[in-house]
């Protein structure tokens, strides 16, 4: 084999190792609206991503929107785990979360056949909420097949493109010195020091978000699903705001809109009797069956047996103090709204979905004493 042929083979092998030879790749200068390319210019070099608008139309459209609006310019790779991935697009060099310019989160297109292999780019999201991805993304630095499997919330992580140039830069970021940052809670050092900054993000090949969307006929249904989801989120946000206003009105005036009087116990628990009961009352050590829905004061629902369609059964001495006290005062058949202060709820520790020092609001119906 001659030197030229050997060089070609070696280049091909390097491309495969760096995740650049897995699928069709757009050639420089050839605009392909279904595979637009984005250049990330960082303080450690340039990375070129090729996105797959055919398989992840909504996700690519979302990413290109942030690129065109300049959202990523000046953000950093804030979470770097060298045997996992590098994550960026959501924090400033001062480790302040970038909120201005964020848009509605997008549907999770994880069932598109793309895998979380080395060199692919995927959307970061909140655990427990599959459709919570906004601007943050990550680049896999190793194969991560566990991200392709549904998590506890029923969904995996959506891959929407791959690195086609600059995998050496990705590896520089991967191997950057990391520290624990006081503004970023993590059990291990993950924040590069000094910061790795995305100086600019630009769409290449003369394309634009509008051109990509217009060319993506197959993505029309996905865009419709996203629009329907946005409308539903807006409806939910309006309901949440209305509920928060109702809670405030009750606490400020001492009664709800239907005239139920707000009562208060010596412990600080407040309650409304929404529907009287005529059965017995449980002792604090009894096991009860209830239906309930719980909200934060801002109107956000965090748990509901009603929504699950199955009553909850538990010993009254195994729950938060506000529940033990509040339900012990009820009669079977009764329904109350409980306003439980933090010291009778989860206090300073909070819990998933409930911030520290939260007052909780529950509608509780006592169905039976077991």
Query: Which positions are catalytic?
Result: 292, 302-303, 320, 346, 362
The burial class, CB within 10 Å (0-12 / 13-18 / 19+), for 202 is: middle
Between CA 48 and CA 42 the distance in angstroms is 11
Contacts of 342 (CB under 8 A, 6+ apart): 348, 356, 357, 358, 359
DSSP secondary structure letters along 321-362: HHHHHHHHT--TT-EEEEEE-GGGTTTTT-BTTB-TT--EEE
Closest alpha carbon to 366 in 275, 262, 255: 275
* Tokens 């060089």 sit on residue: 7
Which residues have C-beta within 8 Å of that of residue 305, sequence separation ≥ 6? 290, 291, 292, 293, 311, 312
Please report the sign of the dihedral spanned by the C-alpha atoms of residue 27, residue 32, residue 35, residue 38.
Answer: positive
For residue 40, which of 169, 142, 159, 140 has the smallest C-alpha distance?
Answer: 169
Nearest to residue 38, comparing CAs of 70, 74, 12, 13?
Answer: 70
- How would you label 304-323 residue by residue, b for 16+ Cβ within 10 Å and e otherwise? bbeeeeeebeeebeeebebb
Q: How far apart are CA 230 and CA 225, in angstroms?
A: 9
């Amino acid at each position: 084999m001659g030197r030229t042929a050997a060089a070609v083979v070696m280049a091909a092998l390097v491309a495969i190792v760096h995740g650049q030879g897995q699928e069709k790749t757009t050639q420089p200068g050839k605009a392909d609206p279904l595979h637009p390319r984005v250049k990330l210019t960082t303080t450690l070099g340039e990375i070129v991503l090729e996105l797959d608008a055919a398989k992840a139309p909504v996700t690519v459209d979302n990413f290109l929107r942030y690129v065109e609006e300049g959202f990523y310019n000046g953000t950093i790779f804030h979470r770097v785990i060298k045997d996992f991935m590098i994550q960026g697009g959501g924090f400033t060099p001062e480790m302040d979360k970038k909120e201005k310019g964020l848009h509605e989160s997008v549907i999770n297109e994880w069932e598109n056949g793309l895998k979380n292999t080395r060199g692919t780019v995927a959307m970061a999201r909140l655990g427990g909420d599959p459709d919570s991805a906004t601007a943050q993304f990550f680049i896999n630095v190793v194969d991560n097949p566990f991200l392709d499997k549904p998590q506890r919330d029923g969904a995996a992580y959506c891959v929407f493109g791959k690195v086609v140039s600059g995998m050496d830069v990705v590896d520089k970021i991967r191997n950057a010195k990391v520290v624990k940052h006081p503004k970023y809670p993590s059990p291990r050092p993950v924040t590069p020091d000094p910061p790795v900054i995305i100086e600019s993000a630009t769409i290449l090949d003369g394309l634009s978000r509008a051109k990509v969307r217009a060319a993506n006929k197959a993505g029309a249904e996905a865009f419709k699903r996203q629009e329907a989801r946005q409308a539903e989120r807006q409806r939910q946000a309006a309901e949440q705001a209305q509920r928060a206003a109702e809670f405030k009105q009750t606490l400020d005036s001492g009664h709800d809109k239907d005239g139920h009087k707000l009562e208060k116990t010596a412990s600080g628990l407040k309650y409304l009797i929404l529907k009287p009961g005529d059965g017995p009352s449980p002792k604090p050590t009894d096991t009860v069956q209830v239906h309930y829905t719980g909200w934060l004061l801002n109107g956000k629902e965090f748990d509901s047996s009603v929504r699950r369609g199955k009553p909850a059964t538990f010993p009254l001495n195994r729950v938060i103090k506000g529940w033990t006290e509040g339900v012990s005062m009820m009669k079977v058949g009764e329904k109350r709204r409980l306003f439980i202060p933090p010291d009778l709820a989860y206090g300073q520790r909070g819990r998933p979905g409930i911030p520290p020092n939260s007052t909780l609001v529950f509608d509780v119906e006592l169905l039976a004493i077991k």
